[in-house]
Amino acid sequence: MIWNMKNPVQPERTWNFEAPVTTLSFSKQDPNLLAIGFYDGLVNIIDISKRDLYIVGQNVSSFECVWCVLWRVNLDHPKNEEQICASSDDGKIIFYSIGNSREMSSQQMMRVAKADGKLKGFNSMRKCTSLTIPVSRYAGARFIRLHPSDPTIYLVGTNEGVVHKCSTNYLNQHLDLFLAHEGPINDLQYSPFSRKIYATCGDDWFLRIWAEGVDEPLQELFVEMFSVQGIAWSPTHSTILATIYDKTILLWDFQRKVWKPQSQTQSPGGSRNTVVQFTQSGRCLTVGDVDGNVHVFSLEDMPFSAFFQEDLLFHSLEKSLTTHPVTMEKIRKIRRDMLFQQKTH
């Protein structure tokens, strides 16, 4: 369904497909193009300016669920045209390009293998060694996230809770990997105020905040034993995040406290929430659930925005790491390096 906010009662467009839709993404260069991923492995590009279903491009189905699609600028193309990145349940990361024909050309950039041995990241519980032979040696790729400053770098999260750092310059090889969660990882979002800070959430009930170059998590936020389905950074407050689990919506402000959220709201529909996102102004929060409802919440009693948002972000992280002096010194070094780069530029 394609909706217009001027008419929240009836959608502008409605299309029915044979397989369940799992992911959507609008093109940044051509906002009328919408990439759709399906449960049966199909990826379609449709033109929403047409009232009837008009498919611009389509792939050859791999019969594995497509969990994420997004658009990126193809730096290898002379006109810097966009291409579609798709991650699937068999661990494949495939880049699709739209050509003159309806069938899209594809290139496999990565196939995420299962991680073995001791991994850096958070201190997970030791597992008993299993002598069984796994059915597959590849992990399911749950999502792709493009690096905010380096267009050749992208991150892949798996159903094992491992994040793989990959590059478009190296096919089927990762640059680095670390364990972010015990079990499937559901989302990863970079801070809109710093390209070095990002947050992850997973089925192990935790929201974790990380910094590039630091192996251990900076913060671990936990409320109840429910899978954290999604996270969103506030676009106007660098220390405020929103998370969802079950029927509950939480707002965190780790500038003030990390052991308890600032607010806790129950979804009015009473259904399990699946996705959360701030509006561009930062004054509203949109939440979707498993029944197809989208609720828009107005945020009240929000604090004043800081003038130096990035300084506040690093200062709040340092303050919360008082009992971890080694990690705190790593954060200070990252901040010093960033300030030095800004001065040299």
**Do the domain assignments include residue 125?**
no
How many C-beta atoms lie closer than 10 Å to residue 149's C-beta?
10
pLDDT band per the 50, 70, 90 thresholds, residue 241: very high
- For residues 154 and 290, membership in a common domain is answered with no
Instruction: Please give the pLDDT value at position 131.
Output: 55
CA distance 345 to 342: 5
Instruction: Please give the pLDDT value at position 91.
Output: 86
Average pLDDT of the residues in 165-193: 88
Domain coverage including residue 28: 1-117+137-179
**Do the domain assignments include residue 190?**
no
User: How many distinct structural domains can be found in the chain?
Assistant: 2
**Do the domain assignments include residue 124?**
no
Instruction: Please give the pLDDT value at position 46.
Output: 93
Average pLDDT of the residues in 118-139: 67
pLDDT band per the 50, 70, 90 thresholds, residue 170: confident
Average pLDDT of the residues in 2-26: 90
- For residues 211 and 170, membership in a common domain is answered with no
- For residues 166 and 312, membership in a common domain is answered with no
3-state helix, strand, coil in the chain (%, to 5): 10, 40, 50
DSSP letter assigned to residue 64: S
Q: In this model, does residue 6 exceed pLDDT 80?
A: yes
- Length of the chain equals 345
3-state secondary structure of 326: helix
Instruction: Please give the pLDDT value at position 133.
Output: 60
Instruction: Please give the pLDDT value at position 222.
Output: 86
Q: Please say whether the beta carbons of 94 and 88 come within 8 A.
A: yes
**Do the domain assignments include residue 196?**
no
CA distance 253 to 239: 5
- For residues 166 and 211, membership in a common domain is answered with no
CA distance 218 to 228: 18
**Do the domain assignments include residue 228?**
yes
Instruction: Please give the pLDDT value at position 343.
Output: 72
Instruction: Please give the pLDDT value at position 334.
Output: 82
Q: In this model, does residue 176 exceed pLDDT 60?
A: yes
Q: Pick the range with the lowest mean pLDDT from 61-65, 174-178, 284-288.
A: 61-65
Q: Residue 296's domain is classified under what CATH number?
A: 2.130.10.10
Average pLDDT of the residues in 80-108: 87
Of 24, 137, 114, the C-alpha closest to 71 is 24
CA 209 → CA 85, 237, 286, 332, distances in Å? 25, 16, 22, 16
Average pLDDT, the chain: 87
**Do the domain assignments include residue 94?**
yes
Query: Between these two residues, 52 and 5, which has the higher pLDDT value?
Result: 52
CA distance 98 to 25: 15
- For residues 20 and 102, membership in a common domain is answered with yes
Q: In this model, does residue 124 exceed pLDDT 80?
A: no
Instruction: Please give the pLDDT value at position 345.
Output: 65
- Kindly report, residue by residue over 285-335, the tens digit of the pLDDT: 999 999 888 899 999 888 888 888 888 898 988 888 888 888 888 888 888
Task: Provide the sign of the torsion angle of the four alpha carbons 280, 219, 146, 230, taken in this order.
Answer: negative
CA 56 → CA 97, 101, 137, 252, distances in Å? 11, 8, 35, 41
- For residues 175 and 216, membership in a common domain is answered with no
- For residues 163 and 213, membership in a common domain is answered with no
- Kindly report, residue by residue over 212-230, the tens digit of the pLDDT: 888 888 888 888 888 898 9
pLDDT band per the 50, 70, 90 thresholds, residue 173: confident
- For residues 108 and 46, membership in a common domain is answered with yes
Provide the token pair at 174.
Answer: 């990762």
Q: In this model, does residue 128 exceed pLDDT 60?
A: no
Residue 345 CA neighbour count, 13 Å, CB half: 6
Angle at 244 between CA 321 and CA 296, to 5 degrees: 120
- For residues 1 and 147, membership in a common domain is answered with yes
Cut 0.75: pTM above it: yes
- For residues 150 and 283, membership in a common domain is answered with no
Average pLDDT of the residues in 83-109: 87
Q: In this model, does residue 123 exceed pLDDT 90?
A: no
- For residues 232 and 317, membership in a common domain is answered with yes
- For residues 71 and 147, membership in a common domain is answered with yes
Average pLDDT of the residues in 232-254: 91
Considering the chain, what percentage of its residues have pLDDT values greater than 70? 96
Of 34, 1, 2, 42, the C-alpha closest to 18 is 42
Strand 185-190 and strand 174-179: pairing? unpaired
